[in-house]
Amino acid sequence: MTLVLFNNLTEKDKARAIENLICESTPRQDFFLLVVLSILMATFGLLIDSASVIIGSMLIAPILYPILSLSLGVVIADTKLIARSFYTILKSLTFGIAASAIVTVFFASNFQENSEILARTQPSLIYAAIAIIAGFAASFALIKPHLSETLPGIAISVALMPPLAVTGIGIARFDWYIISNSFLLFLINAAGIIFASMIVFSLMHLYIKRQVASEAIKKELAAVKKELEKAKKEQEKNNKVYEK
């Protein structure tokens, strides 16, 4: 059964999955916009103690992709992909936590802790187990074309954004207990996903596709550069219009 599950992929499927993962984890401006929007939604959901709003924030959060690309980078021993993934993750954390802290200061400086917030300050081995299962499912679904539609549901199960939102809330309140425990929960979730996805990527022999990953990174870098140049030209054009 194991052989069938992990060895029934074509080389084309493997290449497609790698290219898609690298594309989705590219540090574009719209990527970080979604990070900020998802963390804002999660923060408001936490402040009003609304589980449905928190779930909605997980659906639009893209941070799962750079975590998976970090795992892929380790498996294929690609230092550029590892560095790129770390950069995207760290920048996402910075933007996300800062946005959450700012929102809390302006909208809910005197709020009381509720069940949704406190639930993200109690890391345990159960959360680690959930993260490992979710990481296994996410990486498996990413590689299998017919399972890719399940990724949003998997993102909900692992809940990466709410702990970061709680970290921002803790910073706004200068509460070290909330900050440390919520960020530890995020680290547990991320570590579980990385561990499980490394196993899946190894079993699927993605380590032989290092060249595909390198070419995909170059392609995305060129695309981002082209987008920035186009945006710059449009800005210059608009400035000239305003000057007239």
User: What's the pLDDT score for residue 206?
Assistant: 82
User: What's the pLDDT score for residue 188?
Assistant: 93
In a domain, 161, yes or no: yes
pLDDT surpasses 80 at 28:
yes
In a domain, 154, yes or no: yes
pLDDT surpasses 70 at 154:
no
For 15, phi then psi, to 5°, come to: -65, -40
User: What's the pLDDT score for residue 203?
Assistant: 87
Radius of gyration of the chain (CA): 19
In a domain, 48, yes or no: yes
User: What's the pLDDT score for residue 94?
Assistant: 95
In a domain, 7, yes or no: no
User: What's the pLDDT score for residue 181?
Assistant: 95
- Percent of the chain past pLDDT 90, that is, above it, reads 38
In a domain, 9, yes or no: no
In a domain, 26, yes or no: yes
Number of independent structural domains in the chain: 1
Task: Please provide the average confidence, as pLDDT, over all residues in the chain.
Answer: 85
User: What's the pLDDT score for residue 86?
Assistant: 94
| CA neighbor of 42 nearest in space, from 32, 55, 29, 25 | 55
pLDDT in tens, 40-87: 999 999 999 888 898 888 888 888 899 999 999 999 988 999 999 999
Q: CA-CA distance, 81 to 71, in Å (whole number)?
A: 9
When pLDDT is cut at 50, 70 and 90, the band that residue 6 belongs to is: low
User: What's the pLDDT score for residue 1?
Assistant: 47
User: What's the pLDDT score for residue 171?
Assistant: 94
User: What's the pLDDT score for residue 3?
Assistant: 54
CATH number, domain with residue 120: 1.20.1080
pLDDT surpasses 80 at 229:
no
pLDDT in tens, 180-215: 999 999 999 999 999 999 998 888 888 777 788 888
User: Which structural domain range is residue 99 located in?
Assistant: 16-236
When pLDDT is cut at 50, 70 and 90, the band that residue 137 belongs to is: confident
Q: CA-CA distance, 57 to 59, in Å (whole number)?
A: 5
Q: Are 142 and 148 in contact (CB under 8 A)?
A: yes
The arithmetic mean of pLDDT across residues 8-36, rounded, is: 85
Q: Are 165 and 188 in contact (CB under 8 A)?
A: no
In a domain, 1, yes or no: no
In a domain, 244, yes or no: no
